């Protein structure tokens, strides 16, 4: 026979226990006062001992209940503080400054919540690298936005990962098994953009030798991403507005209306309200797109992600490479106008230049470190000869020229003002991997 259990909330149980103790104390006190009224002198000493006993009993009961409640919490706190992953500095600061258990408990629970949210972020969004509060806030928004069919507008500077966020919204949506079609509005010439979006009929224009389905038809029942929508021409914006409102369109050169069921995600690095004000973007289209807005902060507003991103990009390098503490600090201190994309290019190039498998400050471009080529000399050992220093400078100049020339040696030789054969000999001398430079350019 299954035993039934009654579950009582602590919010009910604890007040009831203390109320019971109080009622008991009141009854005993009342009985004592009755006795004192009958025998005031003889029972005085007796009553004092009774009063003291009740006070001690009440205190011990309260102490026992508090201990029973706090014991598992204290055990949890102790085990948590001993975990290697747990940050000790903040807890030790609370202990030394206040010595207050409640403040300590609160700090530990905040840290645990922080760690768990990072784990959740990594599990739910393995393709997105970042654990800062700003990024986890975006993850939280994605989980709320994704299950709906509402239009999403993703804004943020160039290189912040807008396409990756759009992909995550799609993956967590109810349409994740349906098509996901992307279109970059900048990459398509203005004359061909409508054909790409809506398709065209055979013979509708020169070169239209057959019927072609557009992105909207291909995305039917799924999701479409219109990247860099701020660069879309006004004439195309008007036709896009109709698709958003009525879910139908005609192919270029066609007369038959085609209905589609598509979820819209748009992204841009432009200031759309400013474009609306300047007349470069339709106001009605902006309001149609701006249903659920998602803003991606630039890298300079989430610098704590830079070490994680650097480690991630280094793990994909063609050879084992690490980064020195000084070099990492210079990356963290930079404002990164190109954001994650600029950081990735910088790491890839520095990895190519790192001769001993360790990226030093002088392997990073001067515009990022705020220095000049001469930093290469400062990083060498004090015992280095003048020839060693000159060779290091020459090697850096060659690698910089190859990077600027996208790995093409003829162009690099022109930049350096030397013959191609002379450059080839120097590349061999310094063991520079030109193929990797080409790949990362």
In the predicted structure, residue 274 carries a pLDDT above the cut 70: yes
Q: Which residue has the higher pLDDT, 308 or 390?
A: 308
The rounded distance, in Å, linking the Cα atoms of 216 and 213 is 8
Chain segment 175-220, per-residue pLDDT in tens: 999 999 999 998 888 878 988 999 888 877 777 778 888 899 999 9
Name which of 85-89, 150-154, 198-202, 336-340 the model is least confident about. 85-89
User: pLDDT tens-digit profile of 372-410?
Assistant: 333 343 455 666 677 777 777 788 788 778 877 878 888
Predicted confidence at residue 177, as pLDDT, reads 93
Write out pLDDT tens, residues 315-347. Answer: 988 788 999 888 888 898 888 999 999 999 999
Residue range 5-30: mean pLDDT, rounded: 67
Instruction: Measure the CA–CA gap between 356 and 150, rounded to whole angstroms.
Output: 52
According to DSSP, the residues that pair with 212 across neighbouring strands are 200
Among the listed residues 344, 315, 316, 347, the one whose alpha carbon sits nearest the alpha carbon of residue 161? 344
Mean of the per-residue pLDDT values of the chain? 80
Give the pLDDT band (50/70/90) at residue 36: low
- State how beta strands 212-213 and 199-200 pair: antiparallel
* Residues 172, 220: Cα–Cα separation, whole Å: 18
- pLDDT at 85 > cutoff 60: no
């Amino acid at each position: 026979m299954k035993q039934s259990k009654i579950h009582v909330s602590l919010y009910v149980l604890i007040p009831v226990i203390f109320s019971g103790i109080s009622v008991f104390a009141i009854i005993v006190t009342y009985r004592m006062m009755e006795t004192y009224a009958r025998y005031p002198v003889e029972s005085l000493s007796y009553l004092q001992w009774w009063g003291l006993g009740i006070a001690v009993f009440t205190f011990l009961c309260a102490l026992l209940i508090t201990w029973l409640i706090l014991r598992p919490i204290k055990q949890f706190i102790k085990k948590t503080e001993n975990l290697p992953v747990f940050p000790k500095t903040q807890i030790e600061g609370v202990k030394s400054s206040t010595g207050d258990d409640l403040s300590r408990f609160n700090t530990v629970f905040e840290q645990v919540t922080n760690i768990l949210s990072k784990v959740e972020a990594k599990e739910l969004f393995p393709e997105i690298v970042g654990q800062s509060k700003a990024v986890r806030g975006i993850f939280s928004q994605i989980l709320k936005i994704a299950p709906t069919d509402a239009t999403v507008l993703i804004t943020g500077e160039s290189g912040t990962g807008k396409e990756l966020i759009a992909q995550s919204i799609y993956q967590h949506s109810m349409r994740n098994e349906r098509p996901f079609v992307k279109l970059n509005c900048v990459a398509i010439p203005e004359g061909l953009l409508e054909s790409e979006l809506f398709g065209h009929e055979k013979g509708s224009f020169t070169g239209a030798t057959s019927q072609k389905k557009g992105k909207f038809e291909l995305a039917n029942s799924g999701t479409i991403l219109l990247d860099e929508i701020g660069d879309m021409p006004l004439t195309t914006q008007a036709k896009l507005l109709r698709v958003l409102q009525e879910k139908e369109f005609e192919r270029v050169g066609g007369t038959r209306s085609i209905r589609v069921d598509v979820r819209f995600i748009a992204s841009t690095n432009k200031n759309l309200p400013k474009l609306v004000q300047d007349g470069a973007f339709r106001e009605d289209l902006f309001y149609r797109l701006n249903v659920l807005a998602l803003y991606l902060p630039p890298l300079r507003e989430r610098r704590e992600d830079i070490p994680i991103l650097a480690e991630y990009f280094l793990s994909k390098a063609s050879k084992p490479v690490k980064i020195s503490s000084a070099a990492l600090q210079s990356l963290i201190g930079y404002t990164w106008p190109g954001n994650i994309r600029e950081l990735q290019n910088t790491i890839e190039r520095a990895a190519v230049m790192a001769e001993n498998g360790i990226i030093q400050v002088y392997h990073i471009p001067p515009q990022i470190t705020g220095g000049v080529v001469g930093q290469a000399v400062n990083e060498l050992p004090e015992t280095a000869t003048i020839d060693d220093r000159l060779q290091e400078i020459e090697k850096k100049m060659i690698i910089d020229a190859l990077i600027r020339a996208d790995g093409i040696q003829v162009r690099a030789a022109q930049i350096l003002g030397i013959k191609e054969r002379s450059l080839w000999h120097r590349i061999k001398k310094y063991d520079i991997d030109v193929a990797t430079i080409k790949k990362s350019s």
